[in-house]
Amino acid sequence: METRAGYVAVGAFVLVLFLGGLGLAVWFGDLRLDQEVRAYRIEFAGSVGGLSVGSPARYRGVPVGSVTAIRIDPENVEKIQVDLEIDATVSIKTDMFATLESQGLTGVGFIQIQGGSRNSPELERTAGGPPPVIPSRASRLEKVFQSAPEIADQLTVLMARLQGFFSEENRDSVTEILRNLA
């Protein structure tokens, strides 16, 4: 009888340890089973590199939801559809917009929702229809990458002008001027 009592004690200890570990995981993971969320969609015209399912969605830096799906728009291959689940207590207004931002040097992407005023109406939802679309804008980093070819062309022109300024003839002229001043 004593050996069976030992098995029961070990089994109970393992069960308590497992439940304790599960409780810690839920606590550290901030899992909320009773949290109500609402679905939204964002359509991006550019690349969504660095974004993945589960990436955070933030409103002015505050975490408010996460990405649930990323796909190419079946009706327009020039657009990328990103579906989000946002906490139902967060009011998404018609004058808000979304950008794709990059977190630090790692390049891990997240959705940044910005704008919005207290007096603007909430984004309308249709019963049984697709989720409401939050308009998107290009992020500052994306704007820099889009203007990179222009910047490179301007640098090429600047370098050509500098080479012309430092030509052999101009160097001789500057040397002559300095000699005359001396």
Mean pLDDT score, 6-20: 85
Tokens of 50: 């660095």
Mean pLDDT score, 112-130: 84
Task: Answer yes or no: is pLDDT of 146 > 80.
Answer: no
- Give the span between the Cα atoms of 46 and 30, in whole angstroms: 33
Mean pLDDT score, 126-143: 78
137-140 own/partner pairs: CB under 8 Å, 24+ apart: 137/97, 137/98, 137/99, 138/45, 138/46, 138/99, 139/99, 139/100, 139/101, 139/102, 139/112
Using only the alpha carbons of the chain, give its radius of gyration: 29
